[in-house]
Amino acid sequence: MSIVQESITAKPKKRRINRTPYLLILPGIGWLFIFFLFPLSTLLATSLQKPAGISPDDGYLPAFKVSNYSSALAEYYPQFFRAFLYSGIATVICLLLAYPIAYYMAFRARKYRNLMLVLIVAPFFASFLLRTNAWKTILSGDGLVVSVLNSINLLPQDRILNTSLAVVAGLTYNFLPFMILPLYTSLEKIDPRLIEAAGDLYSPPSQRFWKVVWPLSLPGVISGTLLTFIPASGDYINAELLGSIKDKMIGNVIQSQFIDLRDYPTASALSFTFMAVILVMVYLYIRKSGTDNLV
């Protein structure tokens, strides 16, 4: 009784508020404000501007021209669609390629684990542009890949470069590490004794995988697919260097609108729409996969 009373009377003393956490997040907030929120609102404003004259040299005037969005979408929806299609296919291939590698590293590799990690990260030491250009040489008509595939009649078009296949292959190659690393991280956290326990409880190997390993690796699958799909769908380098004119993705359109045609409102409207679509897709994806139920 006396203890309870003491604690009640002691309460209204002075409650000290610890300001340190707030001070510590201040630089981050400031950074986000200057380099994210501010450009984003500028982008939004630009996307609604109207031209001041006939030529882009005349500049643009502040306005509320919503039709920028509808006309941009009407003209460039195929590139939108293509961006999501190519990056979707690349993401699926990445997942299929990355899962066994990540699984091997997590459960089998032992002393080779670190070596494998280094090898997976190694391509980042060379620039993205350079690596994609290298693929151009690898896939070129007189390259080894094409001549081998041609000799066994596996190439209906006689070439790989400047086809959608090359774009998807390039995307897959470039974003594979972003799939492997999160997968590895979440597989590595799985206690191998859980797999033993599943075996002990009448699960043959396939069930051990689908009932224990796969559900426990879902956080890695989700972050891996997001880290692959989002940047891949906005990518324009692969389509630019490896694809034909018919393989252009939305990134290419935005890039040429901004840089070549200087049609800033259309480019901004496309960027904004792209961002919104990605946000909605990611939201639905995460809701559907129910990550909050996972450990």
| Residue among 88, 123, 143, 215 that touches another protein (CB under 8 A) | 215
Structure tokens at 10: 């002691």
**Residue 43 or 190 having the CB closest to another protein:** 190
Shortest Å, Cβ 289 to another protein: 13
Shortest Å, Cβ 103 to another protein: 17
| Residue among 202, 259, 260, 292 that touches another protein (CB under 8 A) | 202
Give the DSSP letter string of 232-258: HHH--HHHHHHS-GGG--HHHHHHHHH
- 210 lies in the binding site for another protein (CB under 8 A): no
| Residue among 212, 241, 267, 270 that touches another protein (CB under 8 A) | 212
In 3-state terms the chain splits into helix, strand, coil percentages (rounded to 5) of 75, 0, 20
Shortest Å, Cβ 218 to another protein: 8
Shortest Å, Cβ 202 to another protein: 4
Shortest Å, Cβ 295 to another protein: 5
Give the DSSP letter string of 84-146: HHHHHHHHHHHHHHHHHHHHHHHHT-GGGHHHHHHHHHGGGGS-HHHHHHHHHHHTSTTSHHH
Shortest Å, Cβ 278 to another protein: 28
Q: Which of residues 90-129 bind another protein (CB under 8 A)?
A: none
Cβ-Cβ contacts under 8 Å for 263 (sequence gap 6 or more): 56, 257
**Residue 16 or 193 having the CB closest to another protein:** 193
Instruction: Decide if 150 contacts 183 (C-beta within 8 A).
Output: no
Q: Which amino acid does the sequence have at 119?
A: L
| Residue among 25, 73, 197, 280 that touches another protein (CB under 8 A) | 197
Q: Other C-beta atoms within 10 Å of 225: how many?
A: 23
Q: Which of residues 266-295 bind another protein (CB under 8 A)?
A: 293-295
Of 262, 257, 260, the closest CA to residue 58 belongs to 262
| Residue among 37, 40, 194, 279 that touches another protein (CB under 8 A) | 194
Cβ-Cβ contacts under 8 Å for 145 (sequence gap 6 or more): 138, 139, 160
- 193 lies in the binding site for another protein (CB under 8 A): yes
Q: Kindly determine how many residues on this chain lie close enough to bind another protein according to the rule CB under 8 A.
A: 20
Instruction: Decide if 87 contacts 233 (C-beta within 8 A).
Output: yes
Shortest Å, Cβ 91 to another protein: 23
**Residue 13 or 288 having the CB closest to another protein:** 288
Of 84, 78, 95, the closest CA to residue 172 belongs to 95
| Residue among 105, 160, 169, 216 that touches another protein (CB under 8 A) | 216
Q: Which of residues 152-191 bind another protein (CB under 8 A)?
A: 191
CA distance 173 to 171: 5
**Residue 125 or 202 having the CB closest to another protein:** 202
| Residue among 204, 245, 259, 288 that touches another protein (CB under 8 A) | 204
Provide the binding-site residues for another protein, judged by CB under 8 A: 191, 193-194, 196-204, 207, 211-212, 215-216, 293-295
